[in-house]
Amino acid sequence: MRKRECVISLARAGFVAALLISAGTRAQDVPARVLELPPAKGNPRNSEGAFATLKDGRILFVYTHFTGGGGDHDSAHLAGRYSADGGRTWTAEDRVIVPNEGGMNVMSVSLLRLKNDALALFYLLKNSERDCRPVMRLSRDEGATWSEPVMCVTDEVGYYVLNNDRAIQLKSGRIVLPLCLHWPQGEPKADWQGTLMCYLSDDDGATWRRSRSVFKGYDTQGRRVTTQEPGVVELKDGRVMMFIRASGGCQYLSWSSDGGDTWSAPVASDIQSPVSPASIKRLPSTGDLLLVWNDHAKIPASLKNRRVPLSTAISKDDGKTWQNARVLEGNSYGHYCYIAIHPVDDAVLLGYCAMSNLAHSRITRVPLAWLYSGKPSLISINRPPVADLFESAPPGPFTRLENRLGVWSAETGHAEVYTYVRGKGIRLLGGTDRTVMLTLPQTMASSMLSSFGVERFTATAPYAFTVEALTDTGWQAVHEQGPNTPVGQPIPIKVLAQGPVTTQFRFRCTSALGGIIVPSVNLHGYFND
């Protein structure tokens, strides 16, 4: 049996801004994934959440922790994690915030600091497919304890949806909950295209009433449009803007001039997207609006209707136009949505659902400098994924090999193009410090490189493997493996930028029998150039 020593490939799962390939980019200016809550035994899904800053400076993140299955109607409770350093690190264990008190579950949390200094917690109490309504709890001891729940919708039982991180309090003191009703009381079946409304409180949540406007979405031809999962933001002129998940390839917008009581007919916007919710919130430090959504302005046909990429943009004119577009998550095999936005100092915390089954709850800390560093015009996807880079390369030794990712170079006798069970790739030959260099083209200098996955295929000693990046202070190791590396197990390499980096990387292997294979590198294909 032929022995194969180790394999290196880019994992399709990807991770947020693992390495920003740009000369002069500093680690503090790059988004960093700070909390990942994947499924686990007895916990098949972790879902959307919301943030609040407590008086002692800690940040509370509350999310939906499923226990009885991964569906929207399976059992779940609300769990909390805490950060004491501005969202950079988080507590390792959950605290149960609200138990599974619904007939089905509790989910879709919003946290809101009220003007009376109380902390309000909103969530959906799901009792059945015909009884799902938002409730509110108050805390006057910074989340240590919570009041009994107050039902926000009492006039009509039905299946209402209040998305996570959607509750707002206007300058007037009015609390606005944007809702979508999918199963009105007495109707024989659900209407998943949705009926929009708001529930309003002028006494800090003690009592609630429905807005005078109750409306549906239509296109310019009078045809029904799916309008659901609305959000609201107060504008500088006192109006309230509603942004709406909609069919037809874009977000729909509506405006209110009386604090969310009456609304204009929803109209299509230029915020192109799949049928997926967006999030908009004002940045206190600049006064601008931040938009986080799935940008489909130039999406490849193969990615239509997918909740990818996860993009950001800035509006300096209260939503009339958007600029500084950036791609935060670009894995074409992922889905990203249900975003919570929480500004902190010189950054923004984004909490969202991630991965193909939306079963991960993820927090990424995004520097304000990064949000404002894009081009002044709205841009998005302009290239397909880079994959299967070596299929057209002739087999055998090489010293220089060019493909869509860049230029691969090696000294004579160090590497060859090699075909094995997983496909064609680069194999480092046996010896000490066998090296392959990868130089990315300048045109990709603002792209995001995902994580590698290295697999050792033999226990034969010696064995060592290193990935290095060239910085302004020289070559810096970003991943190392030694002789205790297990055999036959793919090991992810998350290449985090520790300082300014160039477009050059070095893969080094020491092995008696040779062999790093680079079979299918995938640079996910979303660029900000």
Last-in-domain residue among 143, 165, 181: 143
Structural domain includes residue 492 = yes
Alpha-carbon gap, residue 493 to 500, rounded angstroms: 19
Residue 105 identity (one-letter amino acid): N
Structural domain includes residue 406 = yes
Residue 75 identity (one-letter amino acid): S
Helices (H) and strands (E) in the chain, counts: 1, 42
CB 159 within 8 A of CB 151: no
Average pLDDT in the 300-326 region?
92
Domains in the chain, number = 2
Last-in-domain residue among 143, 164, 184: 143
Structural domain includes residue 106 = yes
Structural domain includes residue 53 = yes
Q: pTM of the full predicted structure?
A: 0.72
Structural domain includes residue 445 = yes
Alpha-carbon gap, residue 453 to 489, rounded angstroms: 9
Residue 5: is its pLDDT beyond 60?
no
Question: Which residue in the block uniquely carries the two structure tokens 């894009």?
Answer: 374
Q: Which CA distances in Å does 227 have to 76, 161, 195, 415?
A: 26, 12, 7, 56
Average pLDDT in the 127-136 region?
97
Q: What is the residue-averaged pLDDT of the chain?
A: 84
What DSSP string runs through 251-301? EEEEEESSSSSS-PPPEEEEEE-SS---EEEE-TTT--EEEEE---TT--G
Most confident stretch, 153-167, 412-426, 482-496, 500-514: 153-167
pLDDT band at 21 (very low <50, low <70, confident <90, very high): very low
Query: Which are the contacts of 53, defined by CB distance < 8 A and separation ≥ 6?
Result: 59, 60, 113, 342, 344
Determine the pLDDT at residue 17.
Answer: 30
Structure tokens at 137: 């709890």
What residues does 217 pair with on adjacent strands?
Answer: 225
Q: Which of the pair, 392 or 384, is modelled with greater confidence? A: 392
User: The domain that contains 489 carries what CATH number?
Assistant: 2.60.120
Last-in-domain residue among 85, 114, 143: 143
Query: How many Cα neighbours within 13 Å face the side chain of 217?
Result: 30
**Range of the structural domain that residue 447 is part of:** 6-10+385-517
Structure tokens at 291: 């938009």
Structural domain includes residue 443 = yes
Alpha-carbon gap, residue 367 to 311, rounded angstroms: 14
Average the pLDDT over each of 164-178, 269-283, 486-500 and give the range with the smallest value: 486-500
Alpha-carbon gap, residue 137 to 155, rounded angstroms: 19
Average pLDDT in the 372-395 region?
56
- pLDDT tens per residue across span 10-19: 322 222 233 3
